[in-house]
Amino acid sequence: MPRRRQLPLDMLALDRGSATPLYRQLYESLRSQILDGRLAARMRLPATRELANDLGVSRNTVIGAYDALQAEGYLESAAGSGTRVAALPEYVGRTKVGRHASRLPGLSKRGRLMTSLWRDRTIPDRIAFHPGYPEIQAFPFTTWARLVAANMRNIREDLFGYHLVAGHPRLRLAIAEYLGVSRGVNCEPDQIIVVTGAQAALDLIGRLFMDPGDCFWIEDPGYAGAYNAFVSAGGRPAPLPVGPGGWGIEKANPSPRLIFVTPSCQWPLGLVMPMEVRLRLLQIAEKHDAWIVEDDYDSEYRFRGHPIPAMQGLDDSGRVIYVGTLSKTMFPSVRVAYIVVPPTLVEGFKTAVSVSGQYPPLLLQAAVADFISQGFFAIHLRRMRRLYARRQREFVAMCNTRLDRWLSVREIDTGMQLMGRFKRPMDDGDVLVAAMKRGVDFSRMSPHYRFAEPEQGMFLGYAGVDQDTTRRGVERLRLAFQDLERGSRQG
């Protein structure tokens, strides 16, 4: 067993007066010490509880810092041996981390905000059970590679300029047709603005519709990506409370400039917004002269009944801005999403996107257009719908058999992830640490709350995980829960 060296606590001075969150300060401090070699490879770090005590901070602060460092590969943890500094490649240690950082100008206020927002970090090769991952082994990559290669060889001057900033015409047509038939979205191809992912869509929308100080409503619990984009645009968030009973519209105030909702499959609760609430939201938006942003991120995966048409199709005023993505229906790294905007805003969005540079490569767009219009997309969707329905049933059954003592998981009708509720009081941060030690991942429920008292729980992605991995993952979760029980009996 390696000699246990002491973590030099005096080098971890935290500034409680700083705007930078404590976990971030701790993260940065540890990271720079790893990078410059002061914390040696393989060195063991104190347990989170211990370090939290030593530093006089909450345990979640330490967990947050460790999680981030682990997600990025600075730390590694293994069952039984705690958390250690990872052995990093050669060039680290020569980095210029210390290169007169103190002489650098500062970031802008907005920059300090944007660079310190919470992000849900995914970990390479550990998709059990992180939400937001589609199945990729089943994606028709051979067909896809053929379509891409054909388009990459197809040298046409009109694809090489800078004029098609709103998207490839064939792709805009294919998306408009798909949205009309499958999602009840009412639009012409010209209203489609193709962007580099749903996050880019939200970022652009936040900037074009809100000035600093403008209020936006966001579901609570709700989608961090939208929250981050809109506060980066200077928006002032106000909660639109969501609970097991649905959307608490009457509790939302003050007057919003923009309302962000996920009506087809609420993120993270998985609820479907009832028609009555949709119509009342439209009334409210009209009363306050507000925009509605409808994020329809994975409505394609509906397992019982029929997909529910988008709010955009109900709206006769043009104030519903519809956002859709191919990250879940194709794969995340394709980086193609789209915004449906009212006809009068099309030219403005083109100019704005040419300023922000948020448009994806045209040759890739052409391949995506072929993938949709030649029917491969519909076939893949149908297959995935069946696959995910089966995976969800199996996953829920396994959870109910093996994790029943700690966790309640129920089938839902839509989406690629579901919520696990604890049967006894537990901190989802503790559960995550225990799960990570056992080599399995999930997203904590509590960070999705920004206003209400957070509900502790697990947000579990099952769609991208095959049966064997699911079984192993559930067993690992079982071990993690058992570890926690043992720990708390001893503690």
Q: Rule CB under 8 A: which of 405-444 touch a copy of itself?
A: 413
**Rounded Cα–Cα distance for residues 381 and 175 (Å):** 14
**Rounded Cα–Cα distance for residues 96 and 459 (Å):** 38
As given in the structure block, the two tokens for residue 273 are: 């917004």
Of 8-16, 355-363, 383-391, 401-409, the segment contacting a copy of itself by CB under 8 A is: 355-363
Contacts with a copy of itself in 167-226 (CB under 8 A)?
186, 188-190, 195-203, 207-212, 214, 225
- Based on the number of CB atoms within 10 Å of its own CB, is 160 exposed (0-12), middle (13-18) or buried (19 or more)? exposed
Beta bridge partners of 409: 420
Check residue 72 for interaction with a copy of itself (CB under 8 A): yes
Helix (H, G, I), strand (E, B) or coil at 134: coil
Contacts with a copy of itself in 448-477 (CB under 8 A)?
none
- The site map against a copy of itself for 280-309 (x = CB under 8 A) is x-xx--x--xxx-------------xx-xx
**Nearer CB in complex with a copy of itself: 153/489:** 153
Contact 396, 418 (CB under 8 A): yes
**Nearer CB in complex with a copy of itself: 78/150:** 150
Binder to a copy of itself among 7, 30, 71, 433 (CB under 8 A)?
Answer: 71
Check residue 276 for interaction with a copy of itself (CB under 8 A): yes
The closest of 135, 137, 133, 138 to 122, measured between CA atoms, is 133
**Nearer CB in complex with a copy of itself: 6/142:** 142
**Nearer CB in complex with a copy of itself: 248/342:** 342
Contacts with a copy of itself in 319-348 (CB under 8 A)?
319, 331-336, 342-345, 347-348
Binder to a copy of itself among 7, 148, 419, 463 (CB under 8 A)?
Answer: 148
Check residue 153 for interaction with a copy of itself (CB under 8 A): yes
Check residue 97 for interaction with a copy of itself (CB under 8 A): yes
The closest of 136, 30, 125 to 85, measured between CA atoms, is 30
Least distance CB 340 / a copy of itself (angstroms): 11
Check residue 351 for interaction with a copy of itself (CB under 8 A): yes
**Rounded Cα–Cα distance for residues 339 and 172 (Å):** 10
Of 3-11, 317-325, 387-395, 425-433, the segment contacting a copy of itself by CB under 8 A is: 317-325
Check residue 144 for interaction with a copy of itself (CB under 8 A): yes
**Rounded Cα–Cα distance for residues 75 and 70 (Å):** 4
Give the number of other CB atoms < 10 A from CB of residue 466: 13
Binder to a copy of itself among 82, 180, 318, 439 (CB under 8 A)?
Answer: 318
**Nearer CB in complex with a copy of itself: 88/479:** 88
Least distance CB 406 / a copy of itself (angstroms): 27
Binder to a copy of itself among 73, 253, 423, 488 (CB under 8 A)?
Answer: 73
Sign of CA dihedral 150, 156, 161, 164: negative
**Nearer CB in complex with a copy of itself: 16/163:** 163
**Rounded Cα–Cα distance for residues 435 and 426 (Å):** 13
Cβ within 8 Å of residue 69, ≥6 positions away: 27, 30, 31, 34, 75
- The site map against a copy of itself for 221-260 (x = CB under 8 A) is ----x--xx--xx-----------------------x---
Contact 191, 179 (CB under 8 A): no
Contacts with a copy of itself in 76-95 (CB under 8 A)?
86-92, 94-95
Check residue 139 for interaction with a copy of itself (CB under 8 A): yes
As given in the structure block, the two tokens for residue 259 are: 């309302």
Secondary structure E strands in 41-107: 75-78, 82-85
Looking only at the bridges linking them, the beta strands covering 215-220 and 236-243 are parallel
Of 8-16, 310-318, 455-463, 482-490, the segment contacting a copy of itself by CB under 8 A is: 310-318
Beta bridge partners of 407: 422
Check residue 274 for interaction with a copy of itself (CB under 8 A): yes
Check residue 484 for interaction with a copy of itself (CB under 8 A): no
Q: Which DSSP symbol is given to 56? A: T
**Nearer CB in complex with a copy of itself: 229/426:** 229
**Nearer CB in complex with a copy of itself: 358/456:** 358
Residue whose tokens read 């199996």: 394
Secondary structure E strands in 203-332: 215-220, 236-243, 246-247, 258-261, 291-295, 320-325
**Rounded Cα–Cα distance for residues 203 and 228 (Å):** 8
